[in-house]
Structure 1
Amino acid sequence: MNDQPQGETLTRLRQKYMANGFASARPCYVKKAKGALIWDLDDKEYIDFAGGIAVMNVGHSHPAIVSAVKDQAEKFMHTCFMVLPYESTIKLAQKLCTLVPGPSEKKAMFVNSGAEAVENAIKIARYYTKKTGIIAFESGFHGRTLMGMSLTGKVKPYKLGFGPFAPEVYRIPYAYCYRCPFGKEYPSCGVKCADHLEEFLISHVAPETTAAFIAEPIPGEGGYMVPPPEYFPKLKTICEKYGIMFIADEIQTGIGRTGTMFAMEHWNVEADITTTAKSLAAGMPLSAVVGKKKIMDSVHPGGIGGTYGANPMACKAALAVLDVVEQEGLLQKGKDLGEKLMSGLNDLKENFDIIGDVRGLGPLVAMELVKDRKTKAPAPEETKAITDYCFDQGLILLSCGIYGNVLRFMMPLVTTEQQLKQGISIIEKAFKLVTQTDL
């Protein structure tokens, strides 16, 4: 009898046949998943605080989503919407155009991934404005395609060795209040980080050649920094002043991740173009670009699209996701989850000096770890040790941040109170071990 764990066999096959660059965070081969739980091939149970990188807001294998996909697969799986269209895509467009913030009449298009949505948003903005320059955040992440990499700020591992990159991309710092790039403190700063955009349009790129400003409402890979309430309204006002399209990259923050359907609702800002993906279809490959009608309709027929865009099973899944969010009150559940999570993490901060900052918006929450609270020296090694311990103890937890020292929480919004408490308990034990603290 072979008592060797099944995962070890797969690891050997993986090492032999799969490219090293197509890496995974953990050697956990998934057998099944339900709600906020995952089981590996050896039936070890994990609490999932990663959610497939903020993809499973409605939870793993939600019965309504599974049913929608099965039903569509039995009817037809592909015709290419650009050849022979079907109802679900049109219904989904209608739904999203009513959900994306702002009073303007909107239209939508669909592709497969977040990076594709970003690429198309940039294409549309350039086409509409007849300008080429794009401004992005230094801490932003927008994908691994050529334009996605060009817009992304973090070099390793996303950009190293893959240049040259797309031209006409410019960067400004984000509102990172814990590490203010301008050396100021809120609110006495007057939100200088937002005013800097106007200065930037003098010293780095002219508004006459700038098509769009693309922004993650809260940077994902960058570290989950939450901006001051005045920040995005100020940025949008500057963009409007100079005729620059404002693109909200809501790929990670959309579909309830911040306690509202889209994060821009928190600041009452209407983007010219919004991208969304990840939790939109609960794991099915689907992304959307939703923009003001006059902007979206400016592109000639056939100028945007793709063979697999608006896959019928993915569109049915997305319609089911939006129904579940509404019918099960997941936005309110997400807010409640975020409050409990923030409370639990702030309790940990009281006991562990390594926790420099706890921040978040709704159920999108992060902890930044530092070696010293005064110097704020990043603690990436300790961060990795904590995520390693948590994984060994059955908790999937990911890190992020430009220094690799931020723990981010992306659990499904259906995570139970007991699962949350158990997860925080594991994290507390990890901090005791890493800091050698005996409470």
Structure 2
Amino acid sequence: MTVTADQQAPAPKHRRLRTEIPGPASRALQERRAATVAAGVSSVLPVYVTSASGGLLTDADGNTLIDFGSGIAVTNVGHSAPAVVDRVRKQACWFTHTCFMVTPYEGYVEVCEALGELTPGTHEKRSVLFNSGAEAVENAVKIARAATGRQAVVVFDHAYHGRTNLTMALTAKSVPYKHGFGPFAPEVYRVPGSYPFRDAPGLTGEQTAAAALERIEKQIGGDQVAAVVIEPVQGEGGFIEPAPGFLPALSRWCAEHGAVFVADEVQTGFCRTGDWFASSHEDVVPDLIATAKGIAGGLPLAAVTGRAELLDAVPAGGLGGTYGGNPVACAAALGSIETMRTENLAASARRIGEAALPRLRALAGETGVIGDVRGRGAMLAAEFVRPGTTEPDAAVTARVAKACHALGVVVLTCGTYGNVVRLLPPLSLSGELLDEGLSVLEHAVRQEMSR
């Protein structure tokens, strides 16, 4: 189906259900998909989107759904943000590709300039652009190994870093990310992280870090570690926010032992947690920071940004890729960053958290099936357990998510145990749509309790 800008329907303002979810048009498309698309590609909700605006998705049946997923933390600026669309349109008219490694262009440089300004730290920085979060993380490891001359990479329980061979090795969860896909890259070592809901009561972040670091020194040796790679708030593992002091302790250890501290901010970056980057919450300054997802308003772009001496340690030709820093994606990133600045979306993320967290905590107290509510800014989670225990309840989690979908609210699940409902609304989402979406979630949980 070809749609021009002049043919686009007026953007909807409210949730609206015209059919069941999914409706007949989406079901027909699902049949076509089954005949042509690999079965290994899954979808959370098989409604086929025809347009999107702000925080609303419209499907092939004319249903309009509230989007609490943002394409997994990608459309932070909302769907079809005007500054993104305008810059993409102009760039596509000028040229769509030359390959920066062949004939460069200003947009790539502008994005790197912006990343140097926005990422934590006042040191001299360099950046390199890629296509996806996994590619960024993998290249951060390459850079760390080249700069240090070491091989060992330390990662943590509940981590998720991507689907390439190396990033599967970095990722903790087997099914569906790793099962059957080995062997994986060597010299990757996993240690316990900080999971306050499941750690021993009263355990501080510093104590948790000390236990992890002791294991690193005993099993690997501090002088052998090229990089410590961590998500400042773990994403797919369950939106796990480490105890205060955990990240600063890791960062200090890396500085003392000559290891590179790599922050995987693919999901947490670009105002999602109420700061431009989640590392800033405890004034942690990563040596390298991997970004993607929210950087470009929906177009594929990723980056590694960090200390100049680290990135410049890689010889010419050692970094890059045919599509890395594509000019249209760079234009989208510049429009996205412009929107985040002018609309102060970091503050919007904080307002979302301030509105949602009290309601989720009240719901947890009322129902007894939510063991923990956590999150920062617009990266929020409810962990479902069997009442009175910490035993994960993935079945209830799946039913709550399905009930939300049926009522026209897109929520996502995550967690090592599959028992976390995560909320990632666009940072531009109106207070009215946020309130309505939360009401649907509350109804779904209460409905589950009445079963």
Which range, TM-score by smaller chain? over 0.9
Instruction: State the 1:76 CA deviation.
Output: 0.1
Partner of 2:267: 252
Q: In structure 1, what residue type is equivalent to 2:309?
A: K
TM-score, length-scaled by structure 2: 0.94
Where structure 2 has 5 or more consecutive residues not aligned to the other structure, the ranges are 1-18
Instruction: State the 1:229 CA deviation.
Output: 2.1
Deviations 1:375-399 (A, max 9, x none): 2111100000000000000000011
Instruction: State the 1:362 CA deviation.
Output: 1.6
Instruction: State the 1:64 CA deviation.
Output: 1.1
Pair 1:52 & 2:80 matched? no
**Secondary structure at the residue paired with 2:155?**
strand
Partner of 1:14: 33
CA contact (8 A) 1:191 1:231 kept: yes
Partner of 2:132: 113
TM-score, length-scaled by structure 1: 0.96
Pair 1:267 & 2:282 matched? yes
Alignment match of 1:427 (pick from 432, 438, 441):
441
**Secondary structure at the residue paired with 1:197?**
helix
**Secondary structure at the residue paired with 1:356?**
strand
Where structure 1 has 5 or more consecutive residues not aligned to the other structure, the ranges are none
Alignment match of 1:95 (pick from 95, 110, 114):
114
Root-mean-square deviation (CA), in Å?
1.3
CA contact (8 A) 1:138 1:174 kept: yes
* 1:399-414 aligned within 5 A: 399-414=413-428
Pair 1:383 & 2:397 matched? yes
CA distance in 2, matches of 1:87, 1:288: 16
CA distance in 1, matches of 2:444, 2:182: 39
Alignment match of 1:158 (pick from 166, 177, 181):
177
CA distance in 1, matches of 2:305, 2:209: 25
CA distance in 2, matches of 1:48, 1:172: 35
CA distance in 2, matches of 1:190, 1:14: 47
Alignment match of 1:330 (pick from 326, 336, 345):
345
Deviations 1:176-205 (A, max 9, x none): 01001xx3424xx46321112321123221
Alignment match of 1:293 (pick from 308, 311, 314):
308
CA distance in 1, matches of 2:246, 2:225: 20
Aligned length: 430
Deviations 1:241-274 (A, max 9, x none): 1111100000000000100001111111111100
Deviations 1:337-362 (A, max 9, x none): 11101122112122110011111112
Partner of 2:406: 392
CA distance in 2, matches of 1:26, 1:337: 24
Q: In structure 2, what residue type is equivalent to 1:136?
A: V
**Secondary structure at the residue paired with 1:120?**
helix
Alignment match of 1:233 (pick from 248, 251, 265):
248
Q: In structure 2, what residue type is equivalent to 1:405?
A: N
Partner of 1:185: 202
Pair 1:77 & 2:77 matched? no
CA contact (8 A) 2:193 2:212 kept: no
Pair 1:138 & 2:157 matched? yes
CA distance in 2, matches of 1:156, 1:85: 41
- Percent identity reads 43
Partner of 2:356: 341
CA distance in 2, matches of 1:190, 1:124: 28
Q: In structure 2, what residue type is equivalent to 1:414?
A: S
